[in-house]
Chain A
Amino acid sequence: MAIERFFNPFDFGIDLLFTIIAVVSCFLIYFKTKESYELTKYEGIRYFRQAFLFFGLSYLFRFALSIVVFSRIAFDVFIPRTMFLPLFILLIGYFSTTGIFYLIFGSIWHKFDSKKLLIFGHGTAIILSIISFFTRSHLILIYLQCLLLIIAIVLNFIISRQGRKISRIKVLYALVAVLWLINLLIIDRRRPFPEGVESFFQILSIAVFVIIYYKISKWVR
């Protein structure tokens, strides 16, 4: 069944608006924390801000992917899908997996060797993105990242919070990653969710980014 038949200009416009807000929020978080990192060279800040840089890029390429998918019927422009679709899936796979890893590394980096963390994170991101590239499927990427996220959340809970209550900030981090996966699933307009639910997730994603930005603004002026 062709994806194009599910094209809806209104949904596409909403998605464009959502992408702009998400990308701008991620980049604002990245640039807002620049001075704090430059003054301290603190590893935790580095992972945190780079996680949002990678998420910003992921949301940008996620939208680029939908442009490729709908280019012919929406804009009457021919973009060679066989070339751009796997390429964008490869980039999305790498950026988003690295973003998820960096978000986790931000809170566990002091328990591990930084070099090993980086090799593990980038190595896994490359493997996941190559698998998605060859399968040409963003769904494979979602399944793999889902599995990765479940393992990471369980491990993170065991490593850093033994017997302690889960903090609100950890819930926000988990939401950033989970909402990314849901938003990647939404890109396929074959309606994985009932109407209205997609918008709910998009609004929730924006709310999470705004909350994080607001929390940063309290400390980083």
Chain B
Amino acid sequence: MSKKRDRLEVIFDILKIINEHHNSIRPTPLLRAANLSSNSFSEYYADLISKELIKEIEDKERHKYITLTDKGFRYLEKYKLIIGFISEFEL
């Protein structure tokens, strides 16, 4: 499996974790659950924010939470089909 394919899978896993936590999780538990090094996690985190797959929100006590955007939900929904497409066309 290619490095990039792995990357798509890691992104899927991160988004899935957020979704399984009722679409609201704090960064530290997400880092733990994602099973990545903190450097790797920071890189993916910045990437997901820039791709608008996730967004940060703050509660009244100014605690930061991470939630999925509509695009993030679409990614989760379409992931298996996209992987099938990539595999069938050997991309």
A44 touches B4 (CB 8 A): yes
| Overall SS of chain A's interface | helix
Count of chain A residues with Cβ under 8 Å from any Cβ of B? 24
Contacts of A35 on B, CB cut-off 8 Å?
74, 78
Q: List 8 A-B contacts (CB under 8 A).
A: A35-B74, A39-B53, A40-B82, A42-B4, A45-B85, A110-B3, A169-B90, A220-B81
- Given the complex of chains A and B, what is the CA–CA distance between A169 and B91 in angstroms? 10
Q: How many A-B residue pairs have CB under 8 A?
A: 63
Contact (Cβ within 8 A) B88 A169: yes
Interface of B, secondary structure class, is helix
B82 and A107 contacting across the interface, CB-CB below 8 Å: no
Give the chain A neighbours of B91 by CB distance below 8 A. 42, 44-45, 47-48, 106-107
The proximity string for B residues 37-64 relative to A, scoring 1 for CB distances below 8 Å and 0 otherwise, is 0000000000000010100000000000
Q: Which residues of A contact B84 (CB under 8 A)?
A: 218-219
Could you give, for residues 64-91 of chain B, a 1 whenever the CB lies within 8 Å of some chain A CB and a 0 otherwise? 0000000100110010011011101111
CB neighbours of B2 from chain A (8 A): 110
A167 interfacial contact with B, CB 8 Å: yes
Residues of B within 8 A of A40 (CB): 8, 11, 75, 82
Name B83's closest neighbour in chain A (CB-CB): A219
